[in-house]
Chains A and B, each alone.
Chain A
C-alpha cells in the first residue's frame, strides 16, 4: 500500500542548532514533494517544493533534499529559532493527478 511516513515523535532541539526532519514514502513515484508549516489552530502554509529531478532546494535558512532512490526527503532548518517551533508536513503528488497526499507531520520544538 502507499504510505508517507514522518517521525511522529516530537523533535526537540536547542536554539542555534540545525533541525532535520525526515519524510519517507513507499509505493509512490512523485513528480514533486512539498513541505508545509502548520502552527496550532491554523492552516498549513507552503514552504518549499522540490521536483524529482532536483537533489536539493534552498530558501533562506531552509534546505530540502529529495532522494528518489531512497524514497526520502530531508528538511533542514539551520540556525534554528524558537519561532521555528511548529508542525512540519510533507506532501507529495499522488499519481497523475494534482491531488496532494500528506504525511502526519512532525512537531518541532526549539528550546531557547
Chain B
C-alpha cells in the first residue's frame, strides 16, 4: 500500500441499507478526514479525526458516523442510506506538523 486507499471504488445501494466506506493510510498521519464532493458544491467536510481515538464533526455530518480505532483506518458509516447521500466520497490524511492533505482515489456511491 502506498498512500491512501479507499474501498469500494463504487457502490450502488438501496435506500435504507447500511454501508461502510473504508479508508486506510500507510503514512502514519495522525489527522484524517472524510469529504463528499457534489457538482456545484465542491468538497464538504463530513467528519474528521485529529488522532486515533478522537473524532469531530465537519460541515455536513448528519446521517454519517466515523470511528478511529487506530492510526491507519478511518471508516465512514451510513447507518441508513438516503438518496441525498449519493455522492463521491474522499478520504484524506495530514501529517500533524504539515498543512497539506493527501487524498484517496474516492468512492462513488449511488443510493437508489
Contacts and interface: CB of A to CB of B under 8 A. Distances in A.
What is the size category of the interface that chain B forms with chain A? 20 to 34
A99 B44 CA distance: 11
Contacts of A74: none
Interface in A22-61: 32, 34, 41-46, 49
B100 interface: yes
Given A98-B99, A102-B43, 8 more contacts: A8-B40, A43-B104, A44-B90, A46-B100, A46-B101, A91-B43, A99-B58, A102-B42
A59 B58 CA distance: 31
Interface in B87-112: 90, 92, 94, 99-106
15 contacts: A34-B100, A42-B105, A42-B106, A43-B90, A43-B103, A43-B105, A44-B103, A89-B42, A91-B43, A98-B31, A98-B50, A98-B94, A99-B48, A100-B101, A102-B43
B78 interface: no
A104 B100 contact: no
Contacts of A76: none
A45 B101 CA distance: 8
Nearest to A103: B42
B41 interface: yes
Contact of A41 (B43, B44, B45, B106): B106
Consensus secondary structure, chain B interface: strand
Interface residues on A, range: 20 to 34
Interface of B: 4, 31, 33, 35, 40-45, 48, 50, 58, 90, 92, 94, 99-106
Interface string A75-112: 00000000000000101010000111011110000000
Contact of A49 (B4, B90, B99): B99
Most buried by B among A34, A45, A93, A102: A102
A28 to B, nearest CB: 14
Contact of B43 (A44, A45, A93): A44
